[in-house]
A and B are shown apart, each in its own frame.
Chain A
Amino acid sequence: MPFIEDVLTYKSLSIVGLEKNTGKTETLNYILGRLKNMDKRIALTSIGIDGESRDIVTDTPKPEIRIHQGMIFISTEKHYLQRRITSEILDVSNIHTSLGRLVIARAVTSDKVLLSGPADTQNLRNLIASMAKYHIDLTIVDGSLSRLSLASPAITEGMILTTGAAYSPNLPVLVRKTKFIHDLINLPEVEPELKQKLDCIDSGIIAIDNDNNLHDLNIPSVFMLKKVKDQVFKYGNRLFVAGATSNYLFEFLRMQKNVNAIELVVKDFSKIFASPNVYYSFIKKGGKVRVINRTKLAAVCINPISPQGYNLNSNELKAAMQEALQIPVYDVKKI
């Protein structure tokens, strides 16, 4: 039973697909199927709405999420009343979504359900925290289409990444694109002293000097960097950006004389929105990126089939992916 042991070491876990139809739901069903016979208390939620029986975007059949007896799941009022499963309402939360309040329920039988969850990360975080009162061992969050931000370590401890032919039907390209995300996830953390100092800062751009002292540059966004160009590297070569980082920032940094000494610090990998080319050319010139909170990658799962009909060789893909990422990769249909 591969990677289930890994999964159980986390208190919360998100499953994120790099594209629709990369096998996210399959993976989730696989994990739940494995977990049902273990003596663990599992809660399930999602960001936004998930679990439609047909994929709305591509109109392809989509496996529903099968909840097993005793598991706790979260759904909206509207979806809860449409459910087929027999379940016991434990609580109705005050979090409102477009489909009504969230219902927290325990499955009495096993059946497929529509999972829903809060549409914003703040409420999702609170919801996961509130699971403690049901003595939950593991909360699994089903991520929506390319919502990487929910895999942010600020919300869930670990993540499972699903990728596959739907992300790119060209095997080398698929591996390269997946490796980029994998590289970002594995960015090293800053030292604990700096982590503590920066963790509570939610906005702004800050220069860090050699003694780890912080100097706020008093600009709201990286697009204003040009205006304070003279100050950016006055204190040292390290820069902390609390918000999102774009191509613009990486290009700006790459063009500096001291690029090989520059170290960019971001909150976590989900704050990097640069394209692979721009990101790697910064790295190639010697630039470094570190994160305050590193995400733990529990597993990478692949789906070699795409809804457009592309069918990659599962074994080849798995081998190529493993070679590039240097971690175990699984095709959940094959194990």
Chain B
Amino acid sequence: MVDRLDLKSGLGHRMLLASPFLVNPEDVQYHLQQVNQTVNALKVEQSRAILDKVTIKISHVRDIIGTIKNIQNQLTLNDIELFEVKSFALIANDIRTLVKPIQFIWEQLPNLEEVIEILDPEGARIPSFYINNSFAPELGPLRKKQIGLEFLLEDSEGDTNNEESALLQQQSDELRNKITEIEDRVRQDLSDKLFNFAPALHKALTVVGNIDILITKAKQAISEKLVMPKVKGDITSYQGLFYPQLKATLEQDKKRYQPIDIDIYKGTCLITGANMAGKTVLLKTLALSQALCQYGFFVPATSAKIVLVEQILFSIADEQSELSGLSSYASEMLKVNNIVQLGKKQKRLLVLIDELARTTNPTEGRAIVSAVANIMDGCNVRAVITTHYSGLTTQCRKLRVKGFMEKSKDASITVENIGEYIDYSLVEDDGSTVPHEALRIAQILGIDADILSEASKELDIGKDIN
């Protein structure tokens, strides 16, 4: 989601990457409210036009945090740094003038008029800079003399033996030293004057960066149809939850995307369902939405209530690493162990585990799932664990993905359109049985018929024994 943000300035980018994971409801609420106000502003044509102009201005902003630090440390700025401060102050004040009608942004931006006064005593208001004669009246005559000398020097160039030329060169050097001395004094003077405005400059820089982030967040919220989550209550609850990238891809191919409703209470929630029923995507979406919310973004759903957590813990995909000598099972267990340890410390966590203990034998695997589910149930966590194991003894809450629609006929299902025949919605379940649709799906995927018939035979033998 962050990669798809179209930030206009390097400044915004730096600030976004440095933004903290918010755990305090007031903070999250404040940030979300800001985005909300921006979304509302973008929906009104007048203020939208203003924000478009602001966006263009922001694209010209340089990140001058280094220069501001130099001012704070009372160092003398060089010409390039002075230029940066001047051009930033001009742009920031332009933005300030522009956003006057959008009160909530305007009131955050400090007025940098005095900074501009210092660096542009002539009032030209052009973002170019040099120590011009208005900074020190004595510079004018000296520079005039210098230009005259240079002119003479240029004419006598080449004849290095000429005594007159050597004299000219000496005069020119002396004059230049004098000018440099005055210029340095001016630089020192300007830097001293700017020191008082370092806090205002810093504030303005932060606000401008934030405006960039706000506008892009709000634009994304509108284009991807995101919603502002409520961060009150003790149930995380989503209606119409979706995974933006997947939705976009499917819609591009003119395929159906089914959003999901889910409530997550404190404790463990086991999710079962056939293969290809979207369990992994669901976990990813939950993680994404939680993270987005706690970084002050809108979330991909039609409505959402989110309980804030201190950390999101995730165990997904095969993380086997031959090089460190850990099997997939070992690395998964170490990860789960870490999660359980944190859970035992009564940290507020969102725990998402995909197909726990799937790489070991079903008997022990089932026991591990029950054990982890039970421990998590007693902690201050919201854990969502997907599994294929049936007959789990744990008393925690269980959900099941509905899976294949009853009416669907296998003949018309192909690998391409299989998604159209699956109902991805969740129902409460007792978890005593899990869907046995692996062979059916394998058949649809066009797996070799011999595998299918052999597997069916094996299943029949199993039934006979029972």
Interface, chain A (partner B; CB < 8 A)? 66, 69, 77, 80-81, 84, 86-92, 94, 103, 105-106, 108-111
Contacts and interface: CB of A to CB of B under 8 A. Distances in A.
Contacts of B154: 66, 110
Instruction: Across the A-B interface, give the 9 residue pairs with the lowest CB-CB distance, nearest first.
Output: A88-B130, A89-B83, A90-B128, A89-B129, A88-B128, A110-B150, A109-B147, A81-B78, A77-B80
Nearest to A84: B176
Nearest to A110: B150
A81 B79 contact: yes
11 contacts: A80-B80, A81-B78, A81-B80, A86-B130, A86-B179, A87-B130, A88-B129, A89-B79, A89-B83, A91-B128, A111-B150
Contacts of A69: 147
Contacts of B83: 89, 92
Contacts of B129: 88-89
Contacts of A87: 130
A108 B150 contact: no
Contacts of A90: 128
Contacts of B10: 94
B247 interface: no
B146 A109 contact: yes
Given A88-B129, A92-B84, A80 B146 contact: no
Interface in B121-160: 127-132, 143, 146-147, 150-151, 154
Given A86-B143, A109-B143, A110-B150, A103 B80 contact: yes
B62 interface: yes
Contacts of A108: 130, 132, 143
Instruction: Identify which of A89, A91, A92, A94 gathers the most chain B CB atoms within 10 Å of its CB.
Output: A89
B147 A89 contact: no
A124 B427 CA distance: 62
A91 B60 CA distance: 11
A92 B60 CA distance: 11
Interface of B is mostly: helix
Contacts of B146: 86, 109
Interface of B: 10, 62, 78-80, 83-84, 127-132, 143, 146-147, 150-151, 154, 176, 179
A110 B147 contact: yes
A110 B128 CA distance: 19
A150 B131 CA distance: 35
A118 B176 CA distance: 30
Contacts of A92: 62, 80, 83-84
A89 B130 contact: yes
A109 B150 CA distance: 9
Contacts of B84: 92
B107 to A, nearest CB: 31
Nearest to A88: B130
Nearest to B62: A92
A90 B127 CA distance: 7
A264 B98 CA distance: 58
A91 B62 CA distance: 11
Contacts of B151: 110
B130 to A, nearest CB: 4
A133 to B, nearest CB: 12
A88 B128 CA distance: 6
Contacts of B131: 86
Contacts of A88: 128-130, 132
Nearest to B83: A89
Contacts of A91: 127-128
A80 B81 CA distance: 12
Contacts of A80: 79-80
Given A84-B176, A86-B143, A106 B128 contact: yes
A94 B132 CA distance: 25
A66 B83 CA distance: 24
B161 to A, nearest CB: 15
Contacts of B130: 86-89, 105, 108
Given A92-B62, A108-B143, 10 more contacts: A80-B79, A81-B79, A81-B80, A89-B80, A91-B127, A92-B80, A105-B130, A109-B143, A109-B146, A111-B150
A88 B129 CA distance: 5
A263 to B, nearest CB: 44
A324 to B, nearest CB: 30
B52 to A, nearest CB: 21
Contacts of A105: 130
A90 B132 CA distance: 13
A131 B62 CA distance: 20
B357 to A, nearest CB: 48
B352 to A, nearest CB: 40
A63 B204 CA distance: 46
Nearest to B151: A110
A192 to B, nearest CB: 37
Nearest to B60: A91
A53 to B, nearest CB: 14
Contacts of A81: 78-80
A103 B84 CA distance: 11
A94 B60 CA distance: 10
A69 B150 CA distance: 11
A178 B67 CA distance: 50
Nearest to A80: B80
A106 B126 CA distance: 14
A60 B84 CA distance: 38
A92 B78 CA distance: 13
From B131, B132, B143, B147, name the one whose CB has the most chain A CB atoms within 10 angstroms.
B147
A251 B85 CA distance: 59
A177 B10 CA distance: 48
Contacts of A66: 154
A66 B128 CA distance: 22
Contacts of B78: 81
Most chain A CB neighbours (cut-off 10 Å) among B129, B146, B150, B176: B150
A92 B86 CA distance: 12
A32 to B, nearest CB: 11
Contacts of B128: 88-91, 106
Contacts of B80: 77, 80-81, 89, 92, 103
Nearest to A103: B80
A105 B78 CA distance: 14
A305 to B, nearest CB: 14
Contacts of B127: 91
A8 to B, nearest CB: 22
A106 B79 CA distance: 13
Contacts of B179: 86
A43 to B, nearest CB: 15
B277 to A, nearest CB: 43
B5 to A, nearest CB: 19
A91 B154 CA distance: 29
Nearest to A81: B78
A35 to B, nearest CB: 14
Contacts of B132: 88, 108
Nearest to B179: A86
Instruction: Select the residue from B78, B80, B131, B132 with max chain A CB neighbours within 10 A.
Output: B80
